[in-house]
Amino acid sequence: MNQQIPPDIAAEVERQHALIMRGTTYGDEGTRRVMDRELRERLTESLLEDRPLRVYLGVDPTSPDLHIGHCVTLRKLALFQQLGHQSILLIGDFTGLVGDPSDKDSLRPMQAAEILEHNAATYRDQAFKLLDPERTEVRRNSEWLGRMSFGDVVHLASNFTVQQFTARDTFKRRIDAEQPVYVHEFMYGLMQGYDAVALEADVQLGGTDQTFNIMCGRTLQEREQQRPQIAVLTPILVGTDGKQRMSKSTGNYIGIDEPPNDQYAKTMSIPDDVIVRFFDDGTNIPDEEVDRIAADLESGTLKPMDAKKQLARAIVSEWHGDNDALAAEQQWTRTVSQRHIPDDVPDAPIDFAGADTLEVALPVLLHDIGAAASRAEAKRLVSQGAVRINDEVARDQTARIVAGAVLRVGRRKWYRIVPA
């Protein structure tokens, strides 16, 4: 672009560019430089021509609930919206039938269309907690993918080589381990790539695991004489264990619709070394304040426990309000910090067969009352000392339970054992 840029436009480009690129991450510096340069150019054109950029985030409704890890990219979409650009929330009701293999080392089960439809409605409602529904364009990729012929699919596939797909880490690991990779899994990148063409996207948002799929979109756009979309990639938020990516299937997630007490307690359980990452990627706290918190933690003027309390309050306040955040903090202090039993411990009925006490296998009991997803998980919890009966650690896999006993599993789950 050779024309002289007015100073006010140049300043606004730099302001928007800095906000958009903050917290982004790319696999290599070369990709970052290309995206950085193209974003500046596209922002400049947008402001000079008074044409908002078309920015989209695609979500496959493979589960009904969003967690704060999903909100990393949703916040970026909301940011573009606040900057005056056109935000598009793309519901992957067609790509969801295949399932994204990007973060999986095994075949992702195909989803039924009716389940995807139900989940899509909940995704949209939850996303609108961050996005302005009046300014959000909601699309479904079945609009175009569902109308494609087999010939269209062959034409799309002709733009890529098998080597490009098999070189991906997830596929390569499975091939090296002699695990099957199915042909339909290759189709996912083609389908997501064509989404960019159908939407005539300027920018696509995604986690770093979406790099390949977004680059497919750039390739297909160029083949269709469109300008290739810019990839704005965000980090994958780790879960409450501080190691694996946040995921409902792993159980290390903080759901945005979870009760305040659960959100608060889960946040307080995160390791100290990921506190700043959670502030940066999991909250709506301003960047300058996050920088200050990070500096105070580094200098020792802010203790990790106090930082986590601030983090937990911020998360609960965003999704439930300040009053619920304060109540959740008080509840956590009573039950965890001061080891008091909560006021609202749910009853867990079991069959005592008319007796006052009963010897039980704890893995069976924990699974039956819903305290563990499986008996294997329950056995592991007992072995780790995470199960208490009347505040005494259960040392063995079997225990004698008295009617009215209070069972505590981990830091957050409480049950009062009562006769069925």
Q: Considering the entire predicted model, what is its pTM?
A: 0.75
For range 273-284, the mean pLDDT: 93
- Residue 332: C-alpha distances to residues 59, 102, 140, 261, 309 (Å): 33, 37, 41, 7, 10
Most confidently modeled of 86-95, 240-249, 396-405? 86-95
| Confidence check: pLDDT of 106 > 50 | no
| Confidence check: pLDDT of 105 > 60 | no
State which of 314, 337, 360 marks the end of a domain: 337
Assigned domain for 241 exists: no
| 190 and 279 within one domain | no
| Confidence check: pLDDT of 221 > 90 | yes
Assigned domain for 239 exists: no
The fraction of the chain above a pLDDT of 70, given in percent, is 95
| Confidence check: pLDDT of 12 > 50 | yes
| 285 and 206 within one domain | no
pLDDT for residue 278? 95
pLDDT for residue 107? 43
pLDDT for residue 109? 54
| 374 and 317 within one domain | no
Lowest mean pLDDT among 32-46, 100-114, 330-344, 390-404: 100-114
pLDDT for residue 339? 67
For range 331-340, the mean pLDDT: 75
pLDDT for residue 110? 52
- CATH number for position 389: 3.10.290.10
pLDDT for residue 4? 84
| 354 and 332 within one domain | no
Could you tell me if 250 and 263 are in contact, meaning their C-beta atoms sit under 8 angstroms apart?
no
Label each residue of the chain as H, E or C: CCCCCCHHHHHHHHHHHHHHHCCCCCCCHHHHHHHHHHHHHHHHHHHHHCCCCEEEEEECCCCCCCECCCHHHHHHHHHHHHCCCEEEEEECCCHHHHCCCCCCCCCCCCCCHHHHHHHHHHHHHHHCCCCCHHHEEEEECHHHHCCCCHHHHHHHHCCCCHHHHHCCHHHHHHHHCCCCCCHHHHHHHHHHHHHHHHHCCCEEEEEHHHHHHHHHHHHHHHHCCCCCCEEEEECCCECCCCCCECCCCCCCCCECCCCHHHHHHHHHCCCHHHHHHHHHHHCCCCHHHHHHHHHHHHHCCCCHHHHHHHHHHHHHHHHHCHHHHHHHHHHHHHHHHCCCCCCCCCEEEECCCCCCEEEEEHHHHHHHCCCCCCHHHHHHHHHCCCEEECCEECCCCEEEEECCCEEEECCCEEEEEEEC
pLDDT for residue 338? 63
| Confidence check: pLDDT of 18 > 90 | yes
Lowest mean pLDDT among 197-201, 252-256, 353-357: 353-357
- CATH number for position 290: 1.10.240.10
| 267 and 223 within one domain | no
Q: Residue 2: which pLDDT band, with cuts at 50, 70 and 90?
A: low
| 371 and 222 within one domain | no
Mean pLDDT for all residues in the chain: 88
| 264 and 223 within one domain | no
Q: Residue 404: which pLDDT band, with cuts at 50, 70 and 90?
A: confident
For range 338-344, the mean pLDDT: 72
Determine the structural domain holding residue 71 and report its residue range: 7-234
pLDDT tens column, 308-329 = 999 999 999 999 999 999 999 9
Number of compact structural domains in the chain? 3
State which of 337, 366, 397 marks the end of a domain: 337
- Residue 205's Cα: distance from chain center in Å? 13
| Confidence check: pLDDT of 407 > 70 | yes
Q: Measured between alpha carbons, how far is 108 from 171 in angstroms, rounded to an integer?
A: 12
